[in-house]
Amino acid sequence: QHQMFGDPFASSISSLEADIFSVAAGHHHPQWPGLDHDVPLAPAANNGTSSGGYGSPGGGDGSGSHRKISHNAYERDRRKQLNELYSDLRSLLPDTDHTKKLSIPITVSRVLKYIPELQKQVDGLEKKKEELTRASCKPGVLTMKENTAPIVSATCLDDREIMVQVSLVSTMAGVLPMSKCIKVLENEGLRLISSSTSAFQNRTFYSLHLQYIVLDELKLSKALLFRRCRLGRVHIKG
């Protein structure tokens, strides 16, 4: 039998939730002996024909039946929302077989156990982040090679020409000027066609347009013979 209250909705909310969480804590309420599934939805009310409804006996002007229908509809919506919330909680639990629906007490118990574990993981990640931040702010953490090593890229324009681009920290431009780069490349058998330099923020860029030097067959043969003589592989008489 329902009793009249000033606010029947607030009364039903507090009593239901109190019973649910008392079961989750291990204290079975006699009104909820088998609470191991979702909260059942309230049955739909008949069209105002129930005797013992709210209001005058026999229905009177129908206000009591209308209030009961509204109350049952509210209960269905509220319990549906509760079931959706518990479903969301289950989806957040790790190592959970989502094909199996956990009971409400087990869901609450696992959530209460998982929250401290999750907080511990968050604290560990925050600590690691602080350590990495402090390490990256220390001067001299990066090696000299990582700081100053130039970045060199080469692009073949055709079978004889090549474009070489050098990028380096501007403070190292004095140690490795463009003239030194050109000399190194010329020693490798390349001839400079054109060059340019530019700067952006803290880096300097060299652009070198080079061409392979093609020796005629006679010069190439002499060069090879001279090299072999120096290595002692060929002995030339006369």
What pLDDT is recorded for position 77? 92
Residue 131 domain-assigned (yes or no): no
- Please give the Cα distance from 193 to 34 (Å, whole number): 90
Looking at the structure, do residues 33 and 119 belong to the same domain, yes or no?
Answer: yes
What CA–CA distance (Å, rounded) separates 40 from 83?
Answer: 9
Residue pLDDT, tens place only, 185-216: 888 878 898 999 888 888 899 999 988 776 55
- Residues 117, 168, single domain; the answer is no
Same domain, 80 and 152: no
β partners of residue 200: 203
Position 152, amino acid: V
Among 10-14, 16-20, 126-130, name the most confident range.
Answer: 126-130
pLDDT digits (tens, 9 = 90+) for 90-119: 888 877 666 677 888 888 888 888 889 889
Q: Are residues 31 and 110 in the same domain?
A: yes
What are the C-alpha distances in Å from 49 to residues 63, 74, 75, 101? 12, 19, 19, 37
Residue 195 lies in a domain: yes
Note whether residue 236 is domain-resident.
no
- Please tell me the total count of domains within the chain: 2
The segment with the largest mean pLDDT, out of 56-60, 82-86, 134-138, is 82-86
Q: What is the CATH number of the domain that holds 156?
A: 3.30.70
Same domain, 116 and 180: no
Whether 33 shows a pLDDT value over 50: the answer reads no
Integer Cα distance of 127 and 131 in angstroms: 6
Task: Indicate whether 118 belongs to any domain.
Answer: yes
Asked if residue 191 and residue 159 are part of one domain, the reply reads: yes
Note whether 164 and 61 are same-domain residues: no
Residue 43: phi and psi, rounded to 5, are -70, 150
DSSP state of 61: T
> In this structure, which amino acid lies at residue 139?
P
- pLDDT, position 56: 46
**Mean pLDDT, residues 84-94:** 84
Measured at the CA of 118, the angle between CA 19 and CA 39, to 5 degrees, comes to 25
Q: Are residues 219 and 161 in the same domain?
A: yes
If phi > 0 it is left, if psi is from -120 to 50 it is alpha, else beta; for residue 224 that is alpha
143: pLDDT strictly greater than 80:
no
User: Domain range spanning residue 187?
Assistant: 147-231
What pLDDT score was predicted for residue 212? Answer: 78
Which secondary-structure segment (H or E) carries 207? strand 203-212
* Residue 87 maps to a domain: yes
* Inside any domain, residue 99: yes
Q: Which of the listed residues 73, 107, 123 is the one where a domain comes to its end?
A: 123
- Given CA atoms 18, 19, 23, 29 in this order, what sign does their dihedral have? positive
138 domain residue, yes or no: no
Q: CA-based angle 8:13:16, to the nearest 5?
A: 120
Residue 159 and residue 210 share a domain: yes
Domain end: 89, 123, 157, which one? Answer: 123
Q: Residue 66's Cα: distance from chain center in Å?
A: 52
In a domain, 3, yes or no: no
Same domain for 99 and 164, yes or no, is: no
4 vs 128, higher pLDDT: 128
- Do 115 and 212 sit in the same domain of this protein? no
Same domain, 112 and 205: no
Highest mean pLDDT of the ranges 89-98, 166-175, 200-209, 219-228: 200-209
C-beta of residue 65 within 8 angstroms of C-beta of residue 50: yes
